[in-house]
Chain A
Amino acid sequence: MNERNITQICLIITLIGIIFFILNYEEEYTEKTISEMTEKIGSKGIIIGKVDYVIKEEPLIFILQNEEKIKVFYPKKIEIKKDDIVEIFAETTEYNKEIELFAQKVIIK
């Protein structure tokens, strides 16, 4: 096996990877409403809404209002206040028999 053969194997591996990537890739987060998110535990989505009430600052727990209200848990510190418009990237989880959102990222608009 010479340099050319190794390069060819490298190219084939990359191509196989790209094909698998194209066939299986799904957009991880699409914009959803709270009701769409709460249909299934484990749903992921982007929700834009208004901060209704900040329960705790660190870790951040707040109530998000879209067309309905839901509790959001964000394990990091970020300064938000009531009436801020936020965009959150989250997953639906169940905690203490209550459905809430676990946020991976919170952006203040």
Chain B
Amino acid sequence: MILYLIIGIILGTITGLIPGIHTNNITRIAFLTPLFGNEAIIFVLSMVTTQSFVDFIPTIFIGVANEGSFEGILPGHKMFLNGKAHEAIALTVFGGIIATIISIISFPFFVKFIDFFPTHFEIIIPIILIFSIITLIMTEKTKNKKAIALFVIIIAATQGIIFKEQIFPLISGYFGISTLINATMKNQKIKKQKIEFEIKNNKIIDSITGVIGGAIVAFVPGIGNNLAAAIIKLFRQKIETKNYLTLLGSINTSNFIFSFPILTFLSKTRNGAMIFLKERIFFTEQTIWLGCTTILITSGIAGIITIIISKKISKNIDKNYFLKIQKNNLLEKIAIIFVIILVFMFNGVFGIIALIFATALGIITINTKTKRSNCLAFLIIPVLFFYLFQLI
């Protein structure tokens, strides 16, 4: 059993560190193995839990988009440029750890909740989504910016519909490459990375908010981690960068945790890892206990691994060879090429086309100083259509 836990943690760390590789890719391989029962639970849950923590490292340090954490690029990379990358990572770990504790404690309540509310979301979610779009436009300060926001929303929504299966290229374009190109143009310099930090206890509130977001993401089809975070951000207008990272860490982890009771009690799956479990385990009381203990053990270990890796990277950034790379913005250029290669590997030529269009739209939002969140229409509008068609 310990062996499967270790393998799960190692693979979760690898999938978290390499953008574009999702646990879904690993579970595709797992389907070829004879893993089943307790072995499958321990392997899969340790892998997805670890990935939900490590996921933020490439997002914050190199500004490369990851499917579960792309909303963290802008605040996280901003902290990185200000020499606070390690603190940004610690905030997401803190969010994740608090989310683990609250999610495990709230398991029985969550089970009662999913029993009680089988269909109500089908009416509530479209209303929230329409309200989010209106809020996105209305929170722009001038009329001119409101018009540009509307334009961005329409284009992003169109891209979301045309490039339906190209989430990685789209998020890389909107939030990753456009940011990296902007950094290259401005010749931004990275400050010396600080290792020490102090997290205020009030961040627990953001973790709790994140757990609610994570529970909704796990339960409601079509709503992803980032969309939930963006909606919460819209409703809490003055959310600080640090609080937002805690919130993201919390949503990312609690979403994975809650998808397990959803599978156990409703037999519904929201990701590849849970599809694998659905096929390979018998659901008993023992299954739930084992799942909870695996999540607890792994969260603690994954939190420590993430902190250690982040600290190592932060310390190395200040070394000479990195400073050489930093001249001429070589790091950003390498990251751009890296993303293009990953997109081509995972999504082919169609992915590259999606990446070009998404990057262009991302740059438009930067140059017009409108909110980058407007690009989230690529997710919001197709989800809205999904719910509206269901109502019809």
Contacts and interface: CB of A to CB of B under 8 A. Distances in A.
Interface of A: 1-3, 6-7, 9-18, 20-21, 24-26, 28-29, 42, 44, 89, 91, 104-105
Contact size range, B? 35 or more
B108 interface: no
Interface string B267-295: 00000000000001110101001101111
B256 to A, nearest CB: 15
The winner among B94, B100, B297 for most chain A CB atoms within 10 A is B297
Contacts, number: 96
Contacts of A44: 282
A20 B304 contact: no
Given A1-B198, A104-B282, A11 B304 contact: yes
A2 B87 CA distance: 9
A86 B36 CA distance: 17
Contacts of B289: 20, 24
Contacts of B101: 13
Interface secondary structure of A, over-half rule = helix
A58 B354 CA distance: 42
Given A2-B196, A16-B296, A25-B290, 7 more contacts: A3-B195, A6-B93, A10-B301, A10-B304, A12-B300, A17-B296, A17-B297
B197 A14 contact: no
Interface secondary structure of B, over-half rule = helix
22 contacts: A1-B200, A2-B199, A6-B93, A6-B307, A7-B307, A9-B303, A13-B100, A13-B297, A13-B299, A14-B301, A17-B293, A17-B295, A17-B299, A18-B297, A20-B292, A21-B290, A25-B290, A26-B286, A89-B36, A91-B282, A104-B36, A105-B36
A20 B34 CA distance: 27
Nearest to B304: A10
Nearest to A21: B293
B293 A24 contact: yes
